[in-house]
C-alpha cells in the first residue's frame, strides 16, 4: 500500500475519532512537503475547519497529535498556518531503500494481461524521414515503453503509406529522368535517393506550371476566377491543385500511373516494388540509428480497400445513410461534429473508411483492448470522427481508442515545408548532434584511454540523448520550436546532464571495493538523503501517471529532477570518504538505487546510458 493512502486512512480515522466526522478521501489532500519546511508529507487542513468549527491551526495540532500517537509511520509533526507537516519514520525509508535496491524491476507494474497497440511513425514512401517524424517516433516509442512498464502487453506498429499519387510522382520522375540510376550506382542512401526524384518531379512540375501561366488559357482562367483581392501570383499559388488535376501533362501522367497501379499493371507494380524497397532499406537504417523497432507492419496498399463491409452492415442498422447519388454518410451533428462521407458515390472508400477497416483488422489480429494512434494534431478532427463512428458501430474496443496528438515542430522561421526546402532531415540531424557531442568531448580527458570504437559508442549515446531529451521533455500537445542552426545543448536541462549523473555514480561504484553493505548504525538521515529517497519512492507513481496520460514528458522531467538532486548531493556530501563506515555504506546503497532508477527511466524514453563520458 502506498504511503499516501496509509496517511489518508490515518487522517480519516483521526477525524472520526476526534470529531466523529466522516469524510471522503478526495477531501484529504496530501502532498510532499515543500523543501523550506520540516517534514515529508503535508496535509492541507482547511477543508476540515467548517465541520469542526475550529481554527486550522487547532485542527492541525489535534490531528498531528493523533497521528503521532496512532500511526506508527508518523514520527513527528508541525503545524504552520493551515498545513500539517508530517515527518515519516526514518526506518520506513531505510526499509524502502533496501527493498527497492533488491528489486530489479523497481517501478514496473506486474503484468495486467491486457493488450494495447501503439501506432507511430507511419511514413509515406516517397521521401526520407524528417524532424517531424522524429518527434512522432520518439513519442510513440517511449509511450510503448511506458505502457509496457505499466503492465500492458504492447504491440508496436506502423502503417506504411506506400501507395497514392505522391509515390507515383517519385516513380514517374525516376522513370522519365533517372536514366537507370540506383542507390547502389550513385552511393546515395536509398530513401534519400527516392526523395530526390520526388523533389525533381516538383521542380519539373513548377517549370511546366510557370510556362503554362503565360498561355491564353491560363490568362482567361485568371480573369474569370480570381477574386478582387488576388493578384496573379497569389491566384496561381492557390490554383495549383486544379492545374495539376485538369491541365498539367505531368499531372495526367501521374494519375495515369496511379490508375495503372490500381489495375495491377505488372510493369508499374514492379517499378513500385523496387522503389519502395529502396525506401524501406533507408527507413530501416534510420530506425536502427534511432533505436526503435516495430512488432507488426501494416501497408496501406493492403488496407486501402478495407472498411466497406462494415459500412454495409452499419447501413443496414441505420447508423449510416445513403444519398441519392449513392454516396454513404453518417450524421454526427448530435456529437457536435458534422455529416461525414464514408463511401464515395462510386462506392470506393475514403480515409476514415480505411481507418475503420484497419482498426477492425488489428482487433482481429491481436485482440487488443486499446489502440494508441500517434499522429500530429492537424488530424484531431479526423480522429474525433473516427472514434465516434467506432462507438456507434458498437465495436468492443471503441472506448480504448486514443489519439496521441502532438504539436508540430516549428523552425524559428516558421513551419517546415518540404517544397521550400526547409525540412530538417532525420539522418542529417542525428549526424549533426553526434558531431556536436564529439566536439564537446574533445575538450575532455575522461575517456582518452578507451579504444576509438568505445569512444564513438559513447559519443553516439550522448548526441542522441541530447536530441531525444530535447524533444521528449516537452508535453506532446504543445508546439515546439527547434533551431537547427543553434547547436543542441549538452548542458543544463538536457539528456547528457542526466547521463552525467549516472556516470558519476558508476565511477564511484567502480572505485568502491565494498560488496556487502551494512549501515544498521546509520540512523540519522540527512535532509538531502531523505529527499532523494522520497523522490525515488515516487517513481512507480510517475510511471503510472505517464502511462495514464500518455505523456513521456513526465518521465523526462522526473529524470531531470532526480539527476539535479543527485548532482547537488554529490557536491555537498562525500561518499567514499564519508564521515563513518555506516554513512558510506548507506550512501553507496542510495546512489546504487539512483543509478538504477535513472537508467530505467531513461530507457523508457529510448535513451541509453554510457558507463563513462
Partner RNA sequence: GGUCUCGUAGCUCAGCUGGAUAGAGCAACUGACUUCUAAUCAGUAGGUCUCAGGUUCGAAUCCUGACGGGAUCACCA
Residues in 411-430 at the binding interface with RNA, rule: CB under 7 A = 415
> Beta strands 83-88 and 41-44: pairing type?
antiparallel
Taking CB under 7 A as the criterion, the residue among 372, 462, 472, 533 binding RNA is 462
Q: Contact, 552 vs 143, CB < 8 A?
A: yes
391 binds RNA (CB under 7 A): no
Classify burial at 481, counting beta carbons within 10 Å of its beta carbon; exposed 0-12, middle 13-18, buried 19 or more: exposed
- Residue closer to RNA (CB basis): 212 or 329: 329
34 binds RNA (CB under 7 A): yes
341 binds RNA (CB under 7 A): yes
81 binds RNA (CB under 7 A): yes
Residue 603 grid coordinates: 530507457
Q: Contact, 152 vs 112, CB < 8 A?
A: yes
Taking CB under 7 A as the criterion, the residue among 121, 213, 494, 592 binding RNA is 494
- Alpha-carbon radius of gyration of the chain: 30
Provide CB contacts within 8 A for 388, sequence distance 6+. 332, 335, 337
CB of 451 to RNA, least distance (A): 15
Taking CB under 7 A as the criterion, the residue among 19, 54, 164, 202 binding RNA is 164
Residue 482 grid coordinates: 527547434
- Residue closer to RNA (CB basis): 241 or 451: 241
334 binds RNA (CB under 7 A): no
What is the DSSP secondary structure assignment for residue 154, as one 8-state letter? E
Taking CB under 7 A as the criterion, the residue among 14, 28, 33, 294 binding RNA is 33
Taking CB under 7 A as the criterion, the residue among 88, 117, 172, 441 binding RNA is 441
Give the Cα separation of 263 and 446 in Å (integer).
Answer: 62
> Beta strands 114-119 and 152-160: pairing type?
parallel
- Residue closer to RNA (CB basis): 103 or 348: 348
In 3D space, the residue among 122, 138, 120, 133 whose CA is nearest the CA of residue 423 turns out to be 133
157 binds RNA (CB under 7 A): no
CB of 524 to RNA, least distance (A): 19
- Residue closer to RNA (CB basis): 365 or 435: 435
338 binds RNA (CB under 7 A): yes
Q: Contact, 431 vs 464, CB < 8 A?
A: no
553-592 residues in contact with RNA (CB under 7 A) are 553-554, 557, 560, 564, 567-568, 570-577
- Residue closer to RNA (CB basis): 154 or 423: 423
3-state SS, residue 65 = helix
- Residue closer to RNA (CB basis): 142 or 557: 557
- Residue closer to RNA (CB basis): 119 or 178: 119
In 3D space, the residue among 275, 293, 276 whose CA is nearest the CA of residue 284 turns out to be 293
Residue 296 grid coordinates: 507488426
- Residue closer to RNA (CB basis): 2 or 293: 2
CB of 278 to RNA, least distance (A): 20
Taking CB under 7 A as the criterion, the residue among 323, 365, 367, 521 binding RNA is 323
In 3D space, the residue among 351, 420, 417 whose CA is nearest the CA of residue 382 turns out to be 351
199 binds RNA (CB under 7 A): no
Give the Cα separation of 368 and 245 in Å (integer).
Answer: 41
CB of 508 to RNA, least distance (A): 4
What's the farthest any 2 CA atoms get from each other in the chain?
A: 95
Q: Which stretch binds RNA (CB under 7 A): 25-33, 108-116, 248-256, 392-400?
A: 25-33
207-246 residues in contact with RNA (CB under 7 A) are 241
* Beta carbons within 10 angstroms of residue 605's beta carbon: 25
Amino acid at each position: 500500500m502506498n504511503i499516501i493512502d496509509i496517511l489518508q486512512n490515518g487522517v480519516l480515522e483521526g477525524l472520526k475519532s476526534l470529531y466523529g466526522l466522516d469524510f471522503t478521501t478526495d477531501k484529504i489532500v496530501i502532498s510532499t512537503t515543500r523543501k523550506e519546511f520540516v517534514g515529508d508529507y503535508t496535509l492541507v487542513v482547511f477543508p476540515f475547519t467548517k465541520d469542526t468549527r475550529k481554527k486550522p491551526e487547532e485542527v492541525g495540532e489535534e490531528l498531528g497529535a493523533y497521528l503521532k500517537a496512532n500511526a506508527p509511520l508518523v514520527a513527528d509533526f508541525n503545524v504552520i498556518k493551515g498545513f500539517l507537516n508530517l515527518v515519516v519514520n526514518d526506518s520506513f525509508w531505510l526499509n524502502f531503500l533496501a527493498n527497492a535496491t533488491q528489486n530489479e524491476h523497481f517501478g514496473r507494474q506486474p503484468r495486467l494481461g491486457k493488450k494495447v497497440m501503439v501506432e507511430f511513425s507511419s511514413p509515406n514512401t516517397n521521401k526520407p524521414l524528417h524532424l517531424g517524424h522524429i518527434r512522432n517516433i520518439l513519442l510513440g516509442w517511449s509511450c510503448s515503453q511506458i505502457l509496457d512498464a505499466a503492465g500492458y502487453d504492447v504491440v508496436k506498429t506502423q502503417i506504411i503509406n506506400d501507395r497514392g499519387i505522391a509515390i507515383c510522382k517519385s516513380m514517374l520522375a525516376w522513370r522519365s529522368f533517372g536514366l537507370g540510376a540506383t542507390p547502389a550506382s550513385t552511393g546515395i542512401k536509398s530513401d534519400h535517393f527516392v526523395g530526390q526524384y520526388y523533389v525533381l518531379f516538383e521542380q519539373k512540375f513548377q517549370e511546366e506550371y510557370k510556362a503554362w501561366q503565360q498561355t491564353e488559357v491560363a490568362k482567361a482562367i485568371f480573369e474569370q476566377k480570381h477574386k478582387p483581392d488576388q493578384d496573379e501570383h497569389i491566384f496561381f499559388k492557390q490554383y495549383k491543385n486544379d492545374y495539376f488535376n485538369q491541365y498539367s501533362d505531368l499531372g495526367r501522367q501521374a494519375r495515369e500511373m496511379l490508375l495503372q497501379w490500381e489495375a495491377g499493371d505488372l510493369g508499374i507494380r514492379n517499378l513500385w516494388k523496387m522503389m519502395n524497397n529502396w525506401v524501406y532499406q533507408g527507413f530501416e537504417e534510420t530506425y536502427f540509428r534511432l533505436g526503435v523497432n516495430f512488432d507488426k507492419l501494416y501497408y496501406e496498399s493492403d488496407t486501402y480497400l478495407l472498411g466497406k463491409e462494415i459500412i454495409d452492415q452499419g447501413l443496414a442498422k441505420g447508423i449510416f445513410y445513403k444519398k441519392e447519388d449513392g454516396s454513404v454518410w453518417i450524421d454526427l451533428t448530435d456529437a457536435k461534429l458534422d455529416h461525414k462521407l464514408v463511401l464515395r458515390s462510386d462506392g470506393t472508400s475514403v480515409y476514415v473508411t480505411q481507418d475503420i477497416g484497419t482498426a477492425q483488422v488489428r482487433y482481429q489480429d491481436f485482440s487488443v483492448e486499446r489502440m494508441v494512434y500517434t499522429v500530429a494534431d492537424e488530424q484531431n478532427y479526423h480522429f474525433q470522427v473516427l472514434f465516434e463512428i467506432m462507438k456507434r458501430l458498437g465495436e468492443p474496443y471503441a472506448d480504448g481508442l486514443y489519439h496521441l496528438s502532438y504539436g508540430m515542430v516549428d523552425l524559428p522561421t516558421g513551419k517546415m515545408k518540404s517544397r521550400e526546402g526547409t525540412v530538417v532531415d532525420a539522418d542529417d540531424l542525428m549526424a549533426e548532434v553526434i558531431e556536436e557531442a564529439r566536439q564537446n568531448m574533445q575538450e575532455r580527458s575522461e575517456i582518452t584511454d578507451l579504444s576509438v570504437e568505445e569512444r564513438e559508442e559513447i559519443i553516439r549515446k550522448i548526441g542522441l540523448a541530447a536530441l531525444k531529451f530535447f524533444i521528449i521533455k516537452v508535453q506532446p500537445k504543445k508546439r515546439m520550436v527547434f533551431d537547427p542552426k543553434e547547436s543542441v545543448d549538452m548542458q543544463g536541462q538536457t539528456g547528457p546532464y542526466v547521463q552525467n549523473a549516472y556516470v558519476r555514480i558508476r565511477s564511484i561504484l567502480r572505485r568502491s571495493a565494498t560488496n556487502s553493505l551494512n549501515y544498521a548504525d546509520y540512523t540519522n538521515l540527512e535532509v538531502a538523503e531523505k529527499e532523494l529517497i522520497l523522490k525515488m519512492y515516487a517513481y512507480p507513481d510517475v510511471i503510472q501517471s505517464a502511462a495514464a496520460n500518455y505523456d513521456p514528458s513526465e518521465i523526462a522531467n522526473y529524470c531531470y529532477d532526480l539527476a539535479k538532486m543527485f548532482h547537488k548531493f554529490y557536491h555537498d556530501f562525500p561518499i567514499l570518504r564519508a564521515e563513518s563506515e555506516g554513512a558510506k555504506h548507506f550512501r553507496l546503497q542510495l546512489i546504487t538505487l539512483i543509478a538504477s532508477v535513472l537508467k530505467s527511466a531513461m530507457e523508457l524514453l529510448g535513451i541509453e546510458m554510457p558507463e563513462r563520458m
